[in-house]
Structure 1
Amino acid sequence: MSRRYLSQVLSTALVIVMSTSVLAGEDNKLTHEDKIYGLSLFWKEASDNFAYFDQVPELDFDAAYQGFIPRVLATQSDYEYYRELMRFNALLKDGHTNVYLPQGLEQGHIDWPSIGLYEANKEAVVISTSLALQHSIPLGSTLVKLDDVELATYLEASVMPYIASSTEHILWHSAVRDALDGKPGSHVKLTLKTPQGEIKQLTLTRDNNLRKRANPEESERISLKRAQSNGELFEFKWLEPGMGYLALNGFHDKQILTDFYAALDDIRKAKRLIIDLRFNGGGDSLIAAEILSHFSETELKGAIWKTRKHIAAFKAWGKYDANYKVYADDNAWESGEMEIFPSKENPIIVPTYVLTSRDTASAAEDFLIYADPLAHFTVLGEKTYGSTGQPIFFDLPGGGSFRICTKRDTYPDGREFVGYGITPDVLMTITAERLIAEQDFMLEEAINRLK
């Protein structure tokens, strides 16, 4: 055994021991009263404020709450407790309703082997590995089994119950991403199918983070090249003469408006345009509409919304007066609509393709709602994330928190998209073969259609 290898082994072992000793003293702070209070607070606020109970008609939320009381009391650590809260939260199946662990609590409880997975058409594709594993696990291999259990069965039993997701495709995306998570230092048996069709089995250690802490050089990886943003909020460039590419990578910062207006004169020169929303996770819907108003000849109408309405006396009267029955049934709503944006002078009306992905979410989806009537826009890509709304946040015992989605949004004509995702005009599917090809096939398709 080389000295360098021995040093790495000892360093990793030391990190494990230190992590375990720290957790032993810091991961069992919550009392039974704390645990009951946290669970009850979530149940109470969700019962009063959650906007999408109709999308989980099979859920008896009160019965589920009662069933989770002994579960949270049986937890042996704060981490286990928060995992149970996440499981309870996941019953609501909403991407804007989440439980968040206290800062640092996950460290010491979760690690994974040094490979990265990406969901492609319900397959788990290896898109990255450490240098040490590159010859054992070819990039583009698909994961067939974990610990001798078929992938779908494993995910449905061990991973998906903890994931809050409004849509099936995001549930799968998140489950594949988290599939290899487990106790640091534990082992997981993988059955893989290589791009050449060979079936391989190997057992890996969940030690990615431990290795990186012990030896930063361990973080070096090889990866499949995939489409990605430039790392900035905004990008404008020419793909070819007359064809512009406009990337809007986030609506959470008003800086994108400054960047957009700085480039507007150049954008106006485009005869054909591609707007890329694939890496936009949302932000402020008004920023989205402000930008879009430069591409419309008519006013823009956004989503209509409604939120639950509680008036205590009306609820009491509703027990015997039909005029107030909706309050007694917890089915009274306040409704409204997003701000209407007038079009700007000299709008940019050219053939335009808008690229979307599973990561196009929230305010980026609101952008698409505003853009729905625009005849010169064609949406191309994956189904969007399928979740938006207005969350309300609460603190939990032990330093964690949760949020509940209080507002539901639909198209102006009432069509639903939360719980489904916005389906593009041209639906594109990511497959293992397309990942292996390492080409931006969505951008290429849009370019070819605009030529």
Structure 2
Amino acid sequence: MSRALLIVAVCWLTSGTAHGTPAQAGAFRDTAAAINKTIRASHFRPAELDSDAFRRIERDTIALGERATSDDEFIKGFGAIWRDAPFSHVGLRKAEEPAADRIARLDTSQAGPDAVSLAWRDSTAILTVNTMNGVDTIKAIDAAYGEIVSRKAGRLIIDLRRNTGGAFAVVPLVGHLIEKPIDLGVFVTASWYDDHKRPPGPDDFSSARPWLGYSVSSFQADVMTRPLTSYRIEPMQPHFQGPVIVLASARSISAAEIAADALQSTGRAKIVGEKTPGICLSSKLFDIPGGFHLRVPIADYYSIRGGRLEGVGVVPDISVRADDALELALGL
């Protein structure tokens, strides 16, 4: 979902700088330069990189590469540099496998038993979803809707207060609540800006090609070949047609924000809790010299009805402290 297929393919270098292992100053010089080059080559909107804030980040990264003497020091220093960054979804970590293998594994990864839970308060179903990653998350959401419908829940509360985003568990979460296909929003890549100086608007969204499915690797491959891609979800069975409340907080990010915005903007649900932080770009992992993975945002996201979510977030219909949101929702 970014610039045209320019992935910085690099070798895995063995520099003797494993976690905490001392190295000479300047050992991360090439790593720092590759990070700056990769971001500039892959970012979804090159014009955003022509700011004083980003140029300062580039200089600070180069300086970090000159002084860091261990992997840990370099990773922590990079995180500090990006703490007040002009855009989200940039991160650095040690690589245990090539980035392509890591991306492919996301399509079969398991999030674990804490990802999804279903509880009841009388006839109210409370579906808690803490991540949008994992094939088991998708299956657990499907199973939860089966129980919700079979037990004839009077209403549904979806708790996303601790949801840290991820991939395509948004699909069943929304799909079981709609009666016709909907386009949640549009992903915008650098190729859009090859021909436009402005971001896309509502009049442009109809030209976006729809994408359906669950595969992260397929999604990234497809989106990177298109200026605009719409995120389409089709109705799923069983269908729950009762009232829905979504709980959100300042910790509900990325794909959780997409789900909350979709259910709110279509009128399918009310949002109770805190405004979400607007951390809503789509990113990709790249291999970086020294044995690192760099996460770079390769696509922006625009809600069909609400506009850009990055830096904006989702405003609740009823504002309340996140810790109080569930009890308030139950009392509505």
TM-score by length of 1: 0.52
- Name the structure 2 match of 1:51: 44
Once residues 61 and 252 of structure 2 are traced to their aligned partners in structure 1, the CA distance between those partners, rounded to angstroms, is: 34
Match runs of 1:127-166 below 5 Å: none
Match runs of 1:333-344 below 5 Å: 334-344=226-236
1:102 CA drift (Å): 7.4
The structure whose RCO (Cα within 8 Å, separation 6+) is larger is: 2
Match of 1:360 among 241, 252, 256: 252
AA at the equivalent of 1:293: G
Match of 2:142 among 245, 261, 281: 261
| C-alpha contact (below 8 Å) 1:296/1:374 kept by paired residues | no
- Structure 1 residues 56-103: Cα deviation after superposition (integer angstroms, max 9, x where no partner): 774254465346544532445554444443344446433311122579
Say if 2:125 is the partner of 1:244: yes
Q: 1:271 to 1:342 in 2, by over 3 A?
A: same
Structure ID, larger Rg: 1
Say if 2:25 is the partner of 1:35: no
Q: 1:236 to 1:60 in 2, by over 3 A?
A: closer
Match of 1:278 among 161, 167, 170: 161
Once residues 308 and 85 of structure 1 are traced to their aligned partners in structure 2, the CA distance between those partners, rounded to angstroms, is: 25
| C-alpha contact (below 8 Å) 2:186/2:231 kept by paired residues | no
Match runs of 1:19-418 below 5 Å: 27-29=21-23, 32=26, 34-51=27-44, 58-59=51-52, 61-62=54-55, 64-66=57-59, 68-75=61-68, 77-90=70-83, 92-100=85-93, 232-240=114-122, 242-268=123-149, 269-285=152-168, 287-309=169-191, 334-344=226-236, 347-413=239-305, 415-418=307-310
Match of 1:422 among 314, 320, 325: 314
- Structure 1 residues 368-397: Cα deviation after superposition (integer angstroms, max 9, x where no partner): 233233324101112224223332223444
Q: 1:70 to 1:387 in 2, by over 3 A?
A: closer
Q: 1:236 to 1:66 in 2, by over 3 A?
A: closer
Once residues 361 and 374 of structure 1 are traced to their aligned partners in structure 2, the CA distance between those partners, rounded to angstroms, is: 19
| C-alpha contact (below 8 Å) 1:278/1:359 kept by paired residues | yes
AA at the equivalent of 2:137: I
Q: 1:57 to 1:419 in 2, by over 3 A?
A: farther
Once residues 59 and 367 of structure 1 are traced to their aligned partners in structure 2, the CA distance between those partners, rounded to angstroms, is: 33
In structure 2, stretches of 5+ residues that fail to align are: 1-16, 97-111, 198-224
Once residues 281 and 68 of structure 1 are traced to their aligned partners in structure 2, the CA distance between those partners, rounded to angstroms, is: 27
1:247 CA drift (Å): 1.5
AA at the equivalent of 2:87: D
TM-score by length of 2: 0.69
Once residues 67 and 277 of structure 1 are traced to their aligned partners in structure 2, the CA distance between those partners, rounded to angstroms, is: 36
Once residues 131 and 77 of structure 2 are traced to their aligned partners in structure 1, the CA distance between those partners, rounded to angstroms, is: 32
| C-alpha contact (below 8 Å) 1:30/1:78 kept by paired residues | no
| C-alpha contact (below 8 Å) 1:383/1:421 kept by paired residues | yes
SS in 2 for 1:394: strand
1:44 CA drift (Å): 0.7
Number of positions where the alignment pairs a residue of Structure 1 with one of Structure 2? 272
AA at the equivalent of 1:355: L
Once residues 260 and 63 of structure 1 are traced to their aligned partners in structure 2, the CA distance between those partners, rounded to angstroms, is: 44
- Structure 1 residues 310-368: Cα deviation after superposition (integer angstroms, max 9, x where no partner): 99xx9xxxxxxxxx796xxxxxx942233422324663222211101222222222212
SS in 2 for 1:43: helix
Once residues 142 and 39 of structure 2 are traced to their aligned partners in structure 1, the CA distance between those partners, rounded to angstroms, is: 41
Bigger shift: 419-428 or 86-95? 86-95
Q: 1:260 to 1:414 in 2, by over 3 A?
A: closer
Once residues 396 and 352 of structure 1 are traced to their aligned partners in structure 2, the CA distance between those partners, rounded to angstroms, is: 44
| C-alpha contact (below 8 Å) 1:356/1:379 kept by paired residues | yes
Q: 1:39 to 1:299 in 2, by over 3 A?
A: same
| C-alpha contact (below 8 Å) 1:102/1:398 kept by paired residues | no
Once residues 442 and 90 of structure 1 are traced to their aligned partners in structure 2, the CA distance between those partners, rounded to angstroms, is: 28
- Name the structure 1 match of 2:213: none
Once residues 55 and 265 of structure 1 are traced to their aligned partners in structure 2, the CA distance between those partners, rounded to angstroms, is: 45
